[in-house]
Amino acid sequence: MNTLDQVYALLQLVPVQRAGIGLLLAALGLPIVGVVIVGLDIMPVRFAMMHVALFGIAVGQLAGLDTVLCALVACGLAGAGVSPLARTTEALSGAMGLLMSIAIAAALLMLALSGVNANGAFALLWGSILAVRPADLAVIGALAVVVPGLFVWRRRDLALLLHDREMALCSGVPVGRLTTLLLVLVAVAVAGGIRLTGALLVDALTLLPALTARRLGHSLGSITAWAVIVGAAVNTVGFLISLAWDLPPGPILVLVAGAVALATHLIPERRTTSWRASASRSATSSH
């Protein structure tokens, strides 16, 4: 059987079809979440939510509930709970570090006191694209609608917030509520992405496409569009490579996304201030 025949045969399998659909849906929402992560400068959020998800998994195992659902709820609540600490961008980044430390301590304590299978809890963090369930597709599909919809609906406010928090406040943007909403979406998106690639490889779906898009785009709108395009291309190519050569999809996705990001950084940076300039013009026009 040649490579094309092997890929075609694998694509007839339901788990493989679910995985492909999940990656395509993820490309519509998770790269935009990466744009938020970069814009708010909250790189530690991925690790913080990994630990919060572990705590949710431990609670789910102890209570006999769906562990993935518990992880999603825990991450959503954590995202909302950390929002009051986000007085400045620096405070938000520090709050993520604090959350990460508290979450892993609480998770390990919960596992020790409950006596549940710690190996099983940690195993769920590694994720598996080929183990995606219909419920997981529902979560990713909801994010694929809500996240782009938010960017279309509040594009001006988001451009101001991601550019300069103080400018957004002075321009009448509801910074507190919008930041809370963004943090909840980021937290749930990271938790949802864990089911596809695993906690340590979720950057392939979020951060790496966003970093690539920052080099290609010149405004928030174009950066968002490029993030989705890059995410869809990387997910498709990486998934097909993994099927063709029988390789683990998660690492392949990261390597493909990383290679694309490195390649774009070889492109000379254009002299443009469009995102910042457009944000400033929006602030000026609002007065």
Q: For residue 28, what pLDDT is reported? A: 92
Residue with tokens 């782009």: 148
Pairwise CA distance, residues 221 & 218, whole Å: 8
- Single-letter amino acid code for the residue at 5: D
Distances (CA, A) of 229 to 103, 153, 172, 217: 34, 20, 32, 11
CA distance 67 to 252: 27
How far apart CA 122 and CA 126 sit, in angstroms, is 7
Among residues 107, 130, 127, the alpha carbon closest in space to that of 61 is found at 107
Which domains are present in the chain? 3-285 (1.10.3470.10)
pLDDT in 10s for each residue of the chain, 287 residues:
678 888 888 889 898 899 899 999 999 999 999 999 888 888 878 788 888 888 888 888 788 888 888 888 999 998 888 877 766 556 676 777 788 888 888 888 877 777 766 666 666 666 677 778 888 889 899 999 999 999 888 888 888 888 877 888 888 888 888 888 998 999 999 888 877 777 767 888 898 999 999 889 888 889 999 999 999 999 999 999 999 998 888 888 889 999 999 999 887 765 444 555 555 554 455 54
pLDDT (0 to 100) of residue 142: 92
Count the neighbouring beta carbons within 10 Å of the beta carbon of residue 15: 14
∠ CA 281-286-287, nearest 5°, is 105
**Amino acid at the residue 122:** F
Positive/negative CA dihedral, 236, 242, 248, 253: negative
Give the sign of the dihedral formed by CA 99, CA 102, CA 108, CA 110.
negative
Candidates 40, 31, 52, 170; CA nearest to 94 is: 40
Backbone torsions φ then ψ of 273, nearest 5 degrees: -130, 30
- Residue 123: per-residue pLDDT: 64
